[in-house]
Amino acid sequence: MRKEDILEEFIRTALAEDIGQGDFTTLAIVDKDKNGQAQIIAKQNGILAGIEIVKKTFFPLDHDIQFETQFKDGDKIDVNDTVIIITGKILSILKGERTALNLLAHLSGISTLTAKYVEEVRGTQAKITDTRKTTPLLRDLEKEAVRAGGGINHRMGLYDMVLIKDNHIQAAGGIREAVNKCKQYLGENKLNLKIEVETTNLNQVRDALACDVDQIMLDNMALNMIREAVNIISGRAVVEASGGISLKSIRSIAETGVDLISIGALTHSAPVFDFSLLLEGA
C-alpha cells in the first residue's frame, strides 16, 4: 500500500472515530448550508509542523473548504499568530476541528522540541536525529515534523538500513558473526544498505570497527566513555550517541565529537503545541 493511501485511510479512520454516527451538537445548532470562516491561532511560541495535514483532514468532509495561510512547516510562530484561515460550511469545519487540531498540535510539538535540541548543539558537528519510537501509522508525519524542527531522520523502518542491536548480537553469537551474516545476506540479495552496530562498551566498539561497518551507535555510555570511543573510531565510521539524552546533557555529549545524537523523546514524548480554532464572530 502506498504511503499516501495509508495516510488517507488513517485520516478517514480518525474522523470516523470522533464523528461516529454524527456530530449531533453541531447538527442541532448549525444550519447545514451556513458558511463561515474560522482561524487556527497559536497559543504559544514555537515551530510549526503539520500545516498540510490540516488541509488533508478537512478534505474528506468537504471538498469545497478553502484555506489561507502565510506559514509553512518549519516556520517560527508566536503567540496569537493566525496560522491558517478556513472558509466553508460551518458544519464541516466543526466536524473536523478536533481531529485537525490534535494532529497539528502533536506535530508542532515535535518540531518545537526538536528545535530546542538543535539549538543546544549549535556550533558543534553533531546533528539531532530521531528513532523508530513513533506513533503507529504516523511515522512519516512525525519524521517530517522532526525535519521541520531542524533535525534529520534516522532509518524510516526496518527496510532501509541494517541496525544490529543487542538481541541480534546475542542471536548471532557476537558482533563479528552478526556483521558477517548481514554482509553475506545483503550481497546475496543485491541490497545496498548501510550497516550500523549498537555498542555498550569499548570492546564492542573495537569489534564493530574491525568489521568495517558504516556507523557505530554508542548506547547509554557515560560521557568519558563516549569521548574515548570517538577517539578509537577516529573518523572511520559515523558515530551516533543514543540513550537517556536530555536537554541538560546534550551539549556535553555533542562536544565529545559525535556525529549524530538520536533522541526517542522527539517523537514519543514531545508536549503538544497549544492551538485553538475560533469561528469568526465567536
State the number of CA atoms in the 13 A half-sphere of 83 facing the CB: 34
Query: Is it the case that residue 282 has pLDDT exceeding 70?
Result: no
Spatial distance between the Cα atoms of 183 and 195, rounded to a whole number of angstroms: 8
219 catalytic residue (yes or no):
yes
Catalytic hit among 8, 52, 81, 98: 98
Q: Could you tell me if 144 and 73 are in contact, meaning their C-beta atoms sit under 8 angstroms apart? A: yes
pLDDT of residue 4: 84
236 catalytic residue (yes or no):
no
Sheet holding 260-262, edge to edge: 127-129, 260-262, 238-242, 215-219, 195-199, 162-164
Beta bridge partners of 262: 129, 242
Spatial distance between the Cα atoms of 113 and 184, rounded to a whole number of angstroms: 40
Structural domains in the chain plus CATH codes = 3-113+271-279 (3.90.1170.20), 118-268 (3.20.20.70)
pLDDT tens column, 47-63: 999 999 999 999 999 99
Query: Is it the case that residue 281 has pLDDT exceeding 70?
Result: no
Catalytic hit among 165, 212, 236, 280: 165
165 catalytic residue (yes or no):
yes
Spatial distance between the Cα atoms of 113 and 126, rounded to a whole number of angstroms: 17
127 catalytic residue (yes or no):
no
